[in-house]
Structure 1
Amino acid sequence: MEFEAAKSRIDELVELLNYHSRLYYVEDRNEISDYEYDMLQNELKKLEAEYPELIRKDSPTQRVGGEALSVFEKVEHIVQMGSIQDVFSFPEVEQFINTVRQSADNPRFVVEPKIDGLSVSLEYHNGEFAVGSTRGDGFVGENITQNLKTVMSVPMSIPEKLPLLEVRGEVYMPKNVFLELVKQQEDNDEQPFKNPRNAAAGSLRQKDPKVTAKRKLDIFCFNIQRIEGKELVSHKQSLDYIKSLGFKTVPDYQLAETFEEVRECIEKIGEKRFSLPFDIDGVVIKVDSFAQREILGSTAKTPKWSVAYKFPPEEKQTTLLDIELNVGRTGAITPVAVFEPIALAGTSVSRASLHNQDFIDEKNISIGDIITVRKAGDIIPEVVCVYEKKSESSFKYPEVCPVCGTPVVRSEDEAAVRCPNVDCPAQIYRSIVHFASKGAMNIDGLGPAIVDALLKSGLIKSVADLYRLTVQDLLGLENFKDKSANNLINAIEKSKSNSLDRLIFGLGIRNIGQASAKLLCAKFGDLDNIMSASAEEIAEIDGFGGIMAESVVRELNEPHMISLIKRLKEYGVNTAFERIQIDSRFEGMTFVLTGTLPTLKRNDAKALIEKYGGKASGSVSKKTSYVLAGEEAGSKLAKAQELGVKIITEEEFLKMTE
């Protein structure tokens, strides 16, 4: 395709994809199928790859990109992102309304749900998304622009090219996404997030935008902080306006004039609180007129024209019937409270995690006690306290594993009690499920139910046994037909050629995630080298600490792991890390990329650096050899100038690769 034709088609595709993205993520409807959307996006990707100079900033392909950050830059808020005074009863709401009436004639109020998430600022210059930041202390926040680009309901551009628009919103994690994330964390024996708000905050402050993108965050916008080129006189008018620009505004905002009307709005929102797909912790009441807000003013901490009515937490009492002990992949034993079912936050609950022995002792919990239970963030059940004590002492862990009977151990530096038996059936089941998971060996079709069936049938006892399974073996199991059996065997066979970092992650070494597994492989090249490396050598890797290094050495040198790896090799599982290197002209050199390069994408530039034996880093230091700078280079460029690090252009860099 010729240049001009490509430019025209790219512009058409960007507008079309952004339109359909807005319909899907903001208006909850769609005019085309997912397949049609994917085909349009694939066409755009191909054209952008052919003509990288035509990539637009608002292209949907640019929502996740760039390298991980080592630190967030500070952003000063021109208009303070203040907090709101909380009230906890209807008499307090009525008092607020009466106080407003003393200073403002016939005030009207906007009543809206209070989304429980993380407050952020979205800044647009001439209609383009320019800066996104956290609230911070209200005066200074952190620049999280790249992470906010991964939130699909944040528009990359708006139809009216206003000189300046700053919108405040609340980033949140939908309830179904949160539950899915918690399940993944529990399956990996990780400490799960306690509630959706914590999950949203932790996800939004990830140094790598690609991690944030996987968390499927969303946003509701609820305020205009600054605007140039448009006159607005009321809060409702401003919400209607930003909705027309394509922002996903806070839902169900309503006008009210009297206390009775305000109370009715609060009660209506409260009635459907538990059926909403997102978390709310109250209702915000705001004076609608901006002129009246000016008259009312603010205190040093909060505005006088708004309050937040907070819902009281729903807590109920029930009898603790039992405490189950679940054994995880790494042997950690987690106690789970089993109690008489109660209705909480719209659903029936009968189980809640008790975390560890320290938690049980702190609450003095025993089987038979009457306990108080609530839902953390209205989602995850938790035991608040013992309401009525029925026994003198608290529950104590048994001295042996509840599954295999091996004496349990507890190290001094952690709260978890563990079963040290690597052949414990519970650990084997969890380890195989993890090994087959998407982030690890990605064996399609090998889910928890199939793993359980294979173990119970005696066909497998470890992950290595997967590689000696046959179609005939599977046909002997319930629900397997020729096609499904062949598909699973093919998926297992395909996994043999996976990159080594997937295998390292799949082996389930404590404290080693996907990113650190890749760093290990890049440093040592193959599994034998990793197994023979010392903790000191491993700790030299950027991003590794002593605990991580010791975990690698300890677990890879355990007899059962050595035996397992030997069998995996015999079955043909790849244990080498493919690192394509043309020559070593960049050997020992560290490059830092900053800004937008004229033709190269960052990943392409990094690949070139690695092909010639160099290393791409995310932060500038005295050890940096070169800073490769493009347009809109930020603090990294300034840091390089300060340290006297050599700064090169893309043209100079490409000459170095000739």
Structure 2
Amino acid sequence: MTELEALARIEELRAQLHHHNYCYYILDKPEISDQQFDELMKELEKLEEQYPQFSDENSPTRRVGGGVLEGFENAPHKYPMLSLGNTYSEGELRDYVARTERLAGGKCQFVCELKYDGTAISLHYRDGQLVQALTRGDGTVGDVITANVRTIKSIPLRLSGDYPKEFYIRGEVFMPLEGFRKLNKERIELGLEPFANPRNCASGTLKLLDTSEVARRPLDSYMYFVIAEPPVAPSHFESMMKAREWGFKIPDPEKRMVQLANSVEEIMDFVYYWDVARHDLPFETDGVVIKVNHYHLQEELGFTAKSPRWAIAYKFKAEQARTRLLDITYQVGRTGAITPVAELEPVFLAGTTVKRASLHNADQIARLDIRIGDYVYVEKGGEIIPKVVGVDLTARAADSKPHQYITQCPECGTDLIREPGEALHYCPNREGCPPQIIGRLEHFVSRKAMDIEGLGGETVELLYRNGLIADVADLYALKDKKDQLLALERMAEKSVANLLEGIERSKQQPFERVLFALGIRYVGETVAKKVARAVGSIDRLMTASVAELMAIDEVGEKIAESIIEYFSKEKNRLLVERLRTAGLQMAVTGVEAAPKSDKLKGLTVVISGVFHTISRDDLKELLESHGAKVGSGITGKTDLLIAGDNMGPAKLQKAQQLNVRIMSEKEFFEFLEGR
């Protein structure tokens, strides 16, 4: 092989390995096996050893490390790495949005992102190759950690696509929870002190002088800010999506890890969602970052001495405490879902004494390797129940054993099932498992269902445990059991009268509420409403096919099959007949069924902005009553955009690009009235 042939093969191998690394670590869609990848890597290593003149700092072979650094040099940041201001309450966040829009002179579009609990870095690329990596340092000067960063497989060494000649990109390096747990286990077995948390582990790893040890540890990354002159796009969100195409690991909009928001309500939706969902992530996050999307507004807003005015971090309300796990018990919900619960040595946390905490599911227990007798870390955020988030492995007993998740229902002894793709185990004994029966009763009488006053959770359980009710239809026979009701504890003449009156009044609830109250799996309040209006009656619903159900807005295959399965059971059909006999509404009434007009029939309408003569919910109801389907975002299938005040410029621009008809609030009502 000549030198030219060797160089050509080396470049070909490097390109292939960069591509396959991107497919595996960024796209999560490997195109070749691990063995094939290793064979390509070994061939490249051999050629680079034979032809050292073709050495390249960004070769895939550099990811394995191998050099021992003498120390870390310092280097200045061309653009200061300022820290973000923090807020801890919804009120403060709303004030920030109002203040920002006032300074910007109008409505702003924001980008919501997760706040990763790791170590911030700044990467410099030139001609598509990594030139330098710096830590944040003091924001002006950072440590040069380029050799260590080259070992992180989710950070591209060479880019592809239409990247700019030179730019900087910033992000976070972190240690995934699974890797952190394995690393600590190894350290304990070697007699070394385990790391306190993944953040400290990631930070300490990046400052190791042995690059081969850095390469051995499973660091990961997400990038979240591009700096280029001129900018690669008009907005932050568009820039990040371009960086994704170049090969960077960027938060995925489809997984809701990054989201555009045109109002503070949409920002809070993102916050509320991740305050719960973050515990299912394979890494730690401690908040949400909110940024003004468009660069021209970022420039107008500028900076304070310490942080940008166009971004802020909302930190989740969480207080952590360490206590001992005494036991793991299991709760059964109304759908049969099994929830593991940590029984704790009482500990004071966020203003209350905590004795129990959620463990979420079997995967969470396995991922954290939680064992009875462990000392665990418990957090409580906002109004959400406490949860176990970690284990103090330094205090684990030498004879502790991994926890074995239960295989039978703790209430009725039935073998548990776990459907493919489901996080939870279920008890299938719907008709004979007491907590499921009580849960369905509580759901049936709840405010958004039949709304029966005087029937709280304690009363429902009291009636069930005393044999007065076994299913929801039995509620309507209680009028004949007044003496038995009066004999119960805490049931006086007035409370019984109120209870019976509430039950009688519930017969006037519309069909959509009755359908929701039945508790069919996956049929929530909104779906029940759409299904009820589409089919018109319980009789038509019980004979509908999967295809007919899936033709209804928001009903997918999973929901359709659940409805079919529910009505395929004779016991459920008999229950419906008993409820019908009791006087419940089993069809949409004439007033509800008759649309106001078909003027908007077949049209998909999106509403955006602030409206002055009608609320957004009422406007949606109005659109549906005239035959329209209300969409959530502008797509090629959108027929009409009703634009209120201060709507997001991106949504308006997209509607214009797709030639979607746009009406103001006034124009829409004039059109509806036929003027």
TM-score normalised over the length of structure 2: 0.53
Q: Does 1:130 align with 2:107?
A: yes
What letter is aligned with 1:372? V
Which secondary structure does the structure 2 equivalent of 1:452 belong to?
helix
Q: Does 1:84 align with 2:83?
A: yes
**Residues 225, 514 of structure 1: CA spacing in aligned structure 2 closer, same or farther, 3 A cutoff?**
farther
Q: Does 1:588 align with 2:597?
A: no
Aligned length, in residue pairs: 432
Identity score, percent: 32
**Residues 199, 504 of structure 1: CA spacing in aligned structure 2 closer, same or farther, 3 A cutoff?**
farther
**Residues 500, 147 of structure 1: CA spacing in aligned structure 2 closer, same or farther, 3 A cutoff?**
farther
Mapping of residues 19-38 of structure 1, within 5 Å: none
Matches of 2:287 and 2:569, distance apart in 1: 38
Cα deviation for residue 556 of structure 1 reads 3.3
Q: Judge conservation of contact 2:347–2:353 (CA < 8 Å) in 1.
A: yes
Q: Does 1:464 align with 2:441?
A: no
Cα deviation for residue 570 of structure 1 reads 1.3
**Residues 362, 582 of structure 1: CA spacing in aligned structure 2 closer, same or farther, 3 A cutoff?**
closer
Q: Judge conservation of contact 2:358–2:388 (CA < 8 Å) in 1.
A: yes
**Residues 420, 131 of structure 1: CA spacing in aligned structure 2 closer, same or farther, 3 A cutoff?**
same
Q: Judge conservation of contact 1:84–1:308 (CA < 8 Å) in 2.
A: no
Matches of 1:450 and 1:310, distance apart in 2: 36
Q: Judge conservation of contact 1:435–1:508 (CA < 8 Å) in 2.
A: yes
5+ residue gaps in structure 2? 1-78, 114-223, 226-234, 238-258, 292-297
The residue aligned with 1:571 is: 582
Q: Does 1:396 align with 2:492?
A: no
Matches of 2:525 and 2:461, distance apart in 1: 25
What letter is aligned with 2:376? T
Which secondary structure does the structure 2 equivalent of 1:338 belong to?
strand
The residue aligned with 1:121 is: 97
Q: Judge conservation of contact 1:171–1:200 (CA < 8 Å) in 2.
A: no
The residue aligned with 1:541 is: 552
Matches of 1:611 and 1:311, distance apart in 2: 41
Matches of 1:400 and 1:381, distance apart in 2: 24
Larger radius of gyration: 2
The residue aligned with 1:435 is: 444
Mapping of residues 40-439 of structure 1, within 5 Å: 84=83, 115=88, 121-122=97-98, 123-125=100-102, 130-131=107-108, 133-134=110-111, 136=113, 137=224, 140=236, 144-148=261-265, 293=305, 314-318=320-324, 320-344=325-349, 347-367=352-372, 369-377=373-381, 380-382=386-388, 384-385=390-391, 387-389=395-397, 391=399, 393-423=401-431, 424-439=433-448
Which secondary structure does the structure 1 equivalent of 2:326 belong to?
strand
Which secondary structure does the structure 1 equivalent of 2:523 belong to?
coil
Cα deviation for residue 383 of structure 1 reads 5.6
What letter is aligned with 2:334? R
What letter is aligned with 2:657? E
- CA deviation map 1:518-571 (0-9, x unaligned): 222232222222222222332233333322222222223333322221211111
Cα deviation for residue 605 of structure 1 reads 5.3
Matches of 1:654 and 1:599, distance apart in 2: 13
Matches of 1:411 and 1:171, distance apart in 2: 28
What letter is aligned with 2:496? A
Matches of 1:505 and 1:134, distance apart in 2: 35
What letter is aligned with 2:236? V
TM-score normalised over the length of structure 1: 0.54
**Residues 582, 334 of structure 1: CA spacing in aligned structure 2 closer, same or farther, 3 A cutoff?**
closer
**Residues 225, 576 of structure 1: CA spacing in aligned structure 2 closer, same or farther, 3 A cutoff?**
farther
User: Which among 525, 528, 541 is matched to residue 530 of structure 1?
Assistant: 541
Matches of 1:557 and 1:427, distance apart in 2: 19
**Residues 312, 430 of structure 1: CA spacing in aligned structure 2 closer, same or farther, 3 A cutoff?**
closer
**Residues 449, 390 of structure 1: CA spacing in aligned structure 2 closer, same or farther, 3 A cutoff?**
farther
Matches of 2:314 and 2:608, distance apart in 1: 42
Q: Does 1:520 align with 2:531?
A: yes
Matches of 1:641 and 1:133, distance apart in 2: 20
Matches of 1:643 and 1:302, distance apart in 2: 30
What letter is aligned with 1:588? G
What letter is aligned with 1:642? Q
**Residues 375, 638 of structure 1: CA spacing in aligned structure 2 closer, same or farther, 3 A cutoff?**
closer
Matches of 1:587 and 1:503, distance apart in 2: 27
Comparing 643-652 with 527-536, greater Cα deviation is found at 643-652
Q: Judge conservation of contact 1:366–1:391 (CA < 8 Å) in 2.
A: no
Q: Judge conservation of contact 1:440–1:505 (CA < 8 Å) in 2.
A: yes
The residue aligned with 1:552 is: 563
Matches of 1:408 and 1:388, distance apart in 2: 30
**Residues 598, 115 of structure 1: CA spacing in aligned structure 2 closer, same or farther, 3 A cutoff?**
closer
**Residues 493, 191 of structure 1: CA spacing in aligned structure 2 closer, same or farther, 3 A cutoff?**
farther
What letter is aligned with 1:457? N
What letter is aligned with 2:593? R
Which secondary structure does the structure 1 equivalent of 2:377 belong to?
strand
**Residues 583, 458 of structure 1: CA spacing in aligned structure 2 closer, same or farther, 3 A cutoff?**
same
Q: Does 1:477 align with 2:493?
A: no
Which secondary structure does the structure 1 equivalent of 2:330 belong to?
strand
Cα deviation for residue 134 of structure 1 reads 4.5
Cα deviation for residue 465 of structure 1 reads 0.8
Cα deviation for residue 192 of structure 1 reads 9.0
The residue aligned with 1:77 is: none
Q: Judge conservation of contact 1:628–1:653 (CA < 8 Å) in 2.
A: no
- CA deviation map 1:187-239 (0-9, x unaligned): xxx99999xx999969x99xxxxxxxxxxxxxxxxxx99779xxxxxx9xxxx
Q: Judge conservation of contact 1:591–1:625 (CA < 8 Å) in 2.
A: yes
**RMSD of the alignment, in Å?**
5.0
Which secondary structure does the structure 2 equivalent of 1:469 belong to?
helix
Matches of 1:617 and 1:129, distance apart in 2: 26
**Residues 609, 312 of structure 1: CA spacing in aligned structure 2 closer, same or farther, 3 A cutoff?**
closer
Matches of 2:309 and 2:655, distance apart in 1: 39
**Residues 525, 349 of structure 1: CA spacing in aligned structure 2 closer, same or farther, 3 A cutoff?**
same
Matches of 1:312 and 1:437, distance apart in 2: 30
What letter is aligned with 2:476? Y
**Residues 626, 417 of structure 1: CA spacing in aligned structure 2 closer, same or farther, 3 A cutoff?**
closer
Cα deviation for residue 425 of structure 1 reads 0.8
What letter is aligned with 1:404? C
Which secondary structure does the structure 2 equivalent of 1:337 belong to?
strand
Cα deviation for residue 486 of structure 1 reads 1.6
What letter is aligned with 1:565? V
